[in-house]
Amino acid sequence: MTVKNKISVLFVCMGNICRSPTGEGVFQNYVEHHGYADQFYIDSAGTIDYHSGEPADARMREAAKKRGYQLKSLARKVTEQDIDTFDLIVAMDTDNLIELESLAGGTQKRLRLLGSFIEGYSDNYDAPSVPDPYYGGAAGFEPVLDMIESACPMMMSHCLELLNNK
């Protein structure tokens, strides 16, 4: 959501119970740790509404807790208003990105894959997708956390540039 003197970031996966609430929680922790919490509004949503109102998957919450993160959000579906109002919308995989682009009526600079913020990648075309751990075992949640953590520095730099240009 567009907020004066703040940058708004929305993380999006399919059901909003694994990857996107983790993006929200990890990135919130990252910006707080670096002293920028008052300059950010961070949220998450899913491309489907199947899990609306539910907390993050218990396995994801447990994996995040082991690294010191709390996932507090409740699942919701992304809306057209989200597309119009968030400064940066971070899709977890190419399927989510395609859904967001469809909702937005085409590609937009504000729609990015999380992988495009990982060192060695620069755009949506070559960026890796965050794997969906939902149907796998507990070990599948660790790579999700690894990818999100590795994207945080570049994502925060990008957001601070956006904020400076508001």
Tell me: the pLDDT tens digits for 89-144?
A: 999 999 999 999 999 999 999 999 999 999 999 899 999 999 999 888 888 999 99
Candidates 152, 138, 134; CA nearest to 16 is 134
In this predicted model, what pLDDT tens digit does every residue of 44-58 receive, in sequence order? 999 999 889 999 999
Architecture of domain 7-164: 3-Layer(aba) Sandwich (3.40)
Distance of CA 57 to the CA centre of its chain: 16
Judge whether 56 and 19 are in contact, CB under 8 Å: no
Judge whether 113 and 93 are in contact, CB under 8 Å: yes
In this predicted model, what pLDDT tens digit does every residue of 58-97 receive, in sequence order? 999 999 999 999 999 999 999 999 999 999 999 999 999 9
Q: What is the pTM of this model?
A: 0.96
Whether 4 has a pLDDT exceeding 80, the answer reads no
Domain boundaries, the chain: 7-164
**Predicted pLDDT at 2:** 55
The catalytic site residues sit at 13, 19, 132
Contacts of residue 124, defined as CB under 8 A and 6 or more positions apart, other chains included, come to 94, 97, 111, 112, 113, 116
